[in-house]
Structures are given as structure tokens and as C-alpha cells.
Structure 1
């Protein structure tokens, strides 16, 4: 069957599946016609310059702060043998399990004026100023980097392990030392990996809302929330969301230009050997890696544990938010996997079709869109739909104040996570198995339910796990779109920390961090 005779319904279905992301972003443009000019003058003069500057500086600092430890620890683990390497190789991934806003409020509580640390410092050094708090731009960049550097570490380490020793040996034969060979050979050849890791960290920084709110840093995400809820102007919030979306597009463009068109690959003639680091060199790497893991994972988990024990009476009050979180995660995960499964099956049915490829590409862009931007777009779209239904005589349909809004935003944001897992699962299928079933005249539905689906089950389970954890940790979209009084664990953490109730916020934060360990365990299992 030629491409011209192929049915059109798969293209139409793929386009419909891309609409949950396209429509909210399209409705953002309506904010330019309905905004309040007087309010926009106030925002552009007093709020926008500081928020834009802080956002750009924060993204730049996080990019630098994640690049150095990410590449450094990845190269040390792939190339050298140092004390504790086998443990630290996987321990360096553990900070990825803790949401950024949890680390932020933990360290704000640790350095609080009435905390044990500050009290002990005043007793030991009464004449010296108090210890600096993590509030502010630099503190936010450091704390976000503690939980985001594993992106660079994981991708760089995988690239270093895949890389053979031929290029480095050739550089040494030309008189290049190990340091010069690393910077002039290894880093350029693995550039796509670490550039992708830094880009992920920067995108997470641009989308962050909880950590910067707790640390008192005004960024575009917090300004969008403030304009919408405090100043009561959804159209003006849409204008700011368009600006934030432009910064995200700029980050993706820079990442594409940084990678270039060249292919960076090397046929591994022999594995890259590990060289033993003896003396203080090896122990220096061990200490640096240990301090990083301690600051990014051990200290937050220990502090959450002590707070949770002191506020153990609060656990029953968290149960409702926990059930809401599980219910929302289950519904969003099922929706995302269903959409991803249909998209992948359409793409496999029509390989090379430009319309299907474009629909899949657009649908997968949601992960790069901040939750605040999607929340504004979804709200504008649902308010318009409510008005249209009312004009048709169908009465008041509460779409914008229901879980429909939250599910739309979450499915659009995390479709890329589910799509990647489903696509990977399909790529591992042996075509001969499906072809054999087809030659035996097995009906299509039976081939899918009895052959394809059981073979896809491991990949689907992994994808469901990743999507579930991402949905449970998501704060801005859930906070801005949830029905009134319907809290999740992430929303409860934000509510408690907004009032400085660190101990009360410990239980929901501890539960979220424990769930976040599941994909970290899966990642390390895949690497092994």
C-alpha cells in the first residue's frame, strides 16, 4: 500500500492527541487582547525586570553549578578507582529523588534563627555574625544544583563508559597530557551527553516554583502566580507565561546549536581502563563526592526524619492528601500511558509519515513547558469552553474548577516521559514474533492482548513508575488548578512551608522523597 493510499484516520488521531498541548499554548495568545493596561504597566515597571533578571541569572548559575560536579564525578567514576567508588557511583544519584522545594525548606529550617545550628553558633561565637542563610539567588542556585546535578552526572557517565580508549590513546601519542587530552578530546566527543544534562537542569530551573518561593527569589514562575492569584488578572499572567515560554524555547535552541550537526561517536576498540588514584588524590575525590551526597540527600532525609518524629501526631492529617496524591497520580499515569501507547502504535503503523511525526514531536514538547505556563493556558482554555457550553444552553459546567484541569495539564507536561518508555519498550520487541503470529492468522486484537502487551509489560511498568513519581512531585500546575480544598502532598508541603511550619511539612515531604527513590532505584538497576 503506497503512502497516498494509506488511511487518513491515523493522521487525524495523532493530531487530536497533540491538541492537549497545542490548545493551552494557543490560548496563551488571548492574554494579549484582554489584559489590563494599567496593571501591565505596574507589572512591567516593578515586577518584570527583577523577575526576568533573577530567572536568567539563576538558570546560568545552575547550569555552571551542575556542570562541574556532574562531569567531574562522572569522569572520576568512569576512569579512576578511588576509595568507596562502588558505593558512591550510585549514591551520587540519590539527590535526584528529593524535590527541590523539599531541599529548600529543609535548609531554610536548618539555618533558621531559632534552629539548633544557629543557637549553637551564637553560644560558641557570641561576637560573630550569624551564619548565612540559603535565602537569595546564590543560595537558590546552590540548593537546586544539589538535586539537579545527577542529570549531568548520569548522562555524562554513560557517555564516558561507552567511549573507548582509542581517541585518548591517540592524543597521548601526540604528546598530549591527561588533562589536555580530557579537555581537547574527551569533552568534545561527549558534548551531546553533558549538554543534554545541563539543558535538563536549566529547564527544571526555569520551571521551578516551590524552591524559589521558599527561598524568597522572585522569578517569572512566582510572578505569574502572583499576578494571577494576588492581582486577580489571568490575561496578564498569560502574557508573562508567553515570556517564560520564550525563555524555554531559547534554552532548547541553545542546546540544539551547542550540539551542532556533527555525530559524536566512537567504536570502542577496548574498554576505557580505570586507573587507581592513590594517596590524597583518591581520598580528595571520595571526600568531595561524600560531601555532595551528604548535603544533597543525607542531611535532608535525616532532618525530615527528626521533624517527622517530633510531629508524629500530624501523620493522620496527611492521610487525606496522600490518598489524593495517589489517586491523581494513578489517573494521570493511566491517561499518559494510554496517549503514549496510541501515539507510538500510530507511528509504527505509518513509519516516516511527516504528519504523524510532527504530531508526536509537538505532543512530546510538554516536558519542556513549565507547569505555571500550562496551568495558565489550561485555565484560559477551560474558561472559554465553559462559556461556549453556557451559550449552547447546557448550563454551567465546572471544568476549570475540577480535576479535569489538573489532568489536562499533567498529561500534557509528562507525555514525553511516558512516550519515551513506551517507545523504548516497542523498540525491544522482536519483529519475528509478531510476524509469526500474523502468519498463523491470529486476529489483530488477540495479537496485541496476548503477545504484544505481555512483552511490553516491563517497559510499561517502568514508564508508569516514572510518570507516577513526576506527577506526585509536581507542584505549580497542581497548586494553581486543583479544586478548592483538594490538597496533594506537594501542595501540603507548600502550604506548611509558607507559614514556616517546618515540622508539619516533614511528613508529606518525607513521603514524596521516599516515592522519589523508586525511579532512582530503577535507573541504577538499568545501569547495572
Structure 2
């Protein structure tokens, strides 16, 4: 018997060749500790870091609680019960994902401002000295971010609750537990991998947030990194802080792994799970609570943006160049992400089961968990070093760190996971027999790919392109920190206006960005149906 041919090694080398540039920022962040400014670190340790670290940890803890309650509650109500308005609220509860957290932050700061409509109405009702919280601070930041991040928990938990059926609930009830105890002791442990994954995504987004906490006046590690680089003019120290935030992200991922334990996603129930009617005051209470969350997280921000935008109707041409810059950056980054994701997917199929290819793919997909500020600092440190090397080799000064290339690199590294997931999902829909038939044709490989495989992948690639495009357009810190001077996007224009308290001027770019953000939400709703 002829021994089976060993799998080719070149896909492994090619995969790591693709992954190497994306690993360089992290490597240079670690190497940054070779140059330590003791005086600056003493200043940071005394005046900035303790409060920033405390705020960061408090924000993450509060946000975890604020997203778990509505996320799990509405997911279980949707999967288990039929209450008034459920069909509409099932997809309406996903809509807050369309609005960036920094947009919700400045909308509510404007609404809750002393001269804003809410505080003015409150004083007219209860007297001139009456006031409401202004929404600033760590608690306000956690609440506002939770309004747009709870759908992560809701979507993943709801899918798991539907999959596991009534098995867990019935098993727990048969042991004598009441409905509430059965939910906590039976349903939640069984579906833990799903809702823990959603919770981790939300917490990572909170750790990475820069725009909302800046607008709300909350000092966190992300704002401290930005201030150290652009206020204290120390890129090496900013890199050291960024490495610390990266270590915190790694700790969150480790905690997620430990929380999941050996659990696996539940198998689909073999019998249907009929929803139980929830009538009377209980059903209307669930409906009212869900409607209230949708109003606060989507309707009120969009309504306020629309009214502000209408009051400055001449502001649309002002953001025209920023909109064009945003589209151009989004298109370039999307094309780059999908190209790299396609290469990884093809290498994985050229060498199925190769651990080297799988490891390279896993490493580059971790970029989505890395905050934009960390990627920006790492990319800048690496590109500055690369400029020095190229100048020494070729005698030519390349302006890599001050060009759009730096922004494209950071955005591609951050959102490659989104494109890779979409490409892998598209490949999963192809029958293996079809791919084998394509290989048997006596035509060049590139003709087989472009003529047969690529057309079949097109729907999945379009969906992936849409998801990447919107993520790139909404990204703030990496674009803000790496962009060429004077090169604004919609997100940067929103941040600049909001930082000055110019809510009306910020309305047009925020409204445009939020409406574009509805596209992937619409796609998610279609997938859920």
C-alpha cells in the first residue's frame, strides 16, 4: 500500500507570513519597556493612573451587570413566551446596535444638560432648584454604553435559549424547583457558553471605548493612553500603557474561557418548543419594559439627532468631505480585510487540519478584542521603526506613520475577525463535492476560483463587506490617532463637535453614521428570521 502523501507545508508558511505584520504592533508594545521615563511614570502613577484604572474596572463591572439583566431577560421572554408585541420587539431590541456609543453619549449629555429640555421641564414641574443627574461619570457611561451593547447578550442568549428548548427548564422543574430557580439552576448553566460570549463582547467594547468616556468626562485607560501620547508627547510611555490595557483584555478573555469551563453549546431540542402565552399584566409589563429599552437606546437618540439636524439644515454640505473620506477609508479597509480573509480561508482548505494554519488564523482573529487605542499606538511604534529601517537600507525617507497606510493597517488588524468569520461562513455553505468537482476541471486554479467558487461565495462576501464597512466607519480612536493631519471622517467630526458641546453641529454626521449602522442590523434581523 502506498503511504499517503504528506500535506504541503507551504500553506503554513504563507499563513504565518500573512499573520506576521499583524503581530508586529504587539511585539513592539512589549519591547517598549526598554525605554522607561521614570519622571513621567511617577507623574502618571501619582495623578492619573489610579483613577483611570479604577474607572476602567468599575465601568467594566457596571456594564456587565447592566447588559446581563436586559439581555438575558428579554432573550428568555422572546424564546419562551408570547407576549403583546413580541414579533415586533424581537427585532426592535436589536436596533440599538446601529448607534455608536459615543453618539448615544453626546445625545444624552445634550438632553440632560442644565439648559436642555429634560432639566428645563423638570425645573418647571418641581421648582427652580430641582435637578436630575446629568448623565456624566462612570455610572452614566456604563448605562449609556449598556443601551447599545446589551444586544450582544440578547442575540446570543436568545439563539441558545431557542436551541436548548424546554429540556433544561423541564428537568429543573421536575426536581422541584420553581420557575425562577429552574431558570438560574437549569437554563443559565446549560446556555452559559452563549451568554458568556455575548457578555465578553460587551465588556471588551467597554474597555476599548474612547469616544463615550471622553464626552462624559470619565478618565479611563484609553483616554490616559491618548493623553500621554498627544498631551504629554511620550509615545514610548503610551506604548507601555497600551501594553497594560492589552494585558487587561487578555485577562478578560482568560476569564471568559474559565467561565465557559468545559461547557459546550446545547444541542437543538428534538421536539418543538411552543411559546407559552403571557397574558394580563405580566405580558404587558414585559412589553412595556422592552419598548422602554428600545425607546431609550434607539428611538430617543435618533429622534434627537433628527431634530438637531433639522435645526441646522445647512450643515449637510459641511460634512460632505468627511463623508467621502469615511466611504473611501471604509472601502479600502473592507477590500483589504476581505482579501486577507479569503487568503486565510483558501490556505485552510489547501491544508485541512494543519495546526500551523489554524494557529495563524486564531492569532490574527484576536485583533477584534484589541482596543483601537492599543492598535494605534502599536502600529505607530512599528511604522516609525520601519521608517528608520527603510531609510537606512534605501536612503529614502518613507512617511509611513503619517499616511493613510497607518490607519488602514490598524483598522484591518482590528476588523479582520469580522471579515474572516463572514468568509468562513460563506465557505461552509459550499458542498465539498462541488469543490472537488471544481478541482477536477482541466483549467487553471485561478479560473476555477473566479468562475465557480467566487460567484457562489458572493452573498456571504457581500454580507461580510457590509459588516466590515460599517465597523470601519464607526471606529473612532484608531482613526483619530493615526489619520493624516486634517483628514477627518464622520466619527472624528462627531467627536470634535461633541467635545466642544456643539450638539447640533454633531447631529448630521451622527445621523448619517447611525443610518448606515442600520444596514448590518437589518442583515442580522434577516438572519434571525
Superposition TM-score tier, normalisation by shorter sequence: over 0.9
Which residue in the other structure is 1:280 paired with?
281
CA distance in 1, matches of 2:4, 2:60: 45
Which residue in the other structure is 2:311 paired with?
310
Measure how far apart 1:279 and its partner are: 1.1
CA distance in 2, matches of 1:34, 1:307: 48
Which residue in the other structure is 1:14 paired with?
15
Report SS of the residue matched to 1:29: helix
Measure how far apart 1:4 and its partner are: 7.7
Measure how far apart 1:2 and its partner are: 7.7
Which residue in the other structure is 1:251 paired with?
252
Matched, 1:123 2:124: yes
Report SS of the residue matched to 1:112: coil
Report SS of the residue matched to 1:271: coil
Is 1:54–1:219's contact at 8 Å kept on the other side of the alignment?
yes
Which residue in the other structure is 1:501 paired with?
502
Q: Which runs of 5 or more residues in structure 1 are unaligned? A: none
Is 1:35–1:233's contact at 8 Å kept on the other side of the alignment?
no
Is 2:308–2:503's contact at 8 Å kept on the other side of the alignment?
yes
CA distance in 1, matches of 2:264, 2:113: 50
Measure how far apart 1:267 and its partner are: 4.5
Which residue in the other structure is 1:374 paired with?
375
Per the normalisation by structure 1, the TM-score is: 0.98
For residues 89-108 of structure 1, the aligned pairs below 5 Å read 89-108=90-109
CA distance in 2, matches of 1:3, 1:100: 54
Per the normalisation by structure 2, the TM-score is: 0.97
- Give the alignment's Cα RMSD to 1 decimal: 1.4
Is 1:69–1:153's contact at 8 Å kept on the other side of the alignment?
yes
Matched, 1:222 2:212: no
Measure how far apart 1:443 and its partner are: 3.1
Measure how far apart 1:8 and its partner are: 3.3
Does 498-507 or 113-122 show the bigger shift?
113-122
Which residue in the other structure is 1:463 paired with?
464
Measure how far apart 1:13 and its partner are: 1.4
Is 2:168–2:190's contact at 8 Å kept on the other side of the alignment?
no
**Runs of 4+ with >6 A deviation:** 1-4
Is 1:165–1:269's contact at 8 Å kept on the other side of the alignment?
no
Matched, 1:343 2:322: no
Measure how far apart 1:31 and its partner are: 2.2
Which residue in the other structure is 1:511 paired with?
512
Which residue in the other structure is 1:172 paired with?
173
Is 2:160–2:266's contact at 8 Å kept on the other side of the alignment?
no
For residues 348-427 of structure 1, the aligned pairs below 5 Å read 348-427=349-428
- Note the alpha carbon deviations across 1:34-54, whole angstroms, 9 max, x for none: 232111110122111111111
- Note the alpha carbon deviations across 1:286-324, whole angstroms, 9 max, x for none: 110011000000000000000001111111110000000
Is 2:192–2:263's contact at 8 Å kept on the other side of the alignment?
no
Aligned residues: 528
Q: Which runs of 5 or more residues in structure 2 are unaligned? A: none
CA distance in 2, matches of 1:425, 1:32: 42
Matched, 1:84 2:85: yes
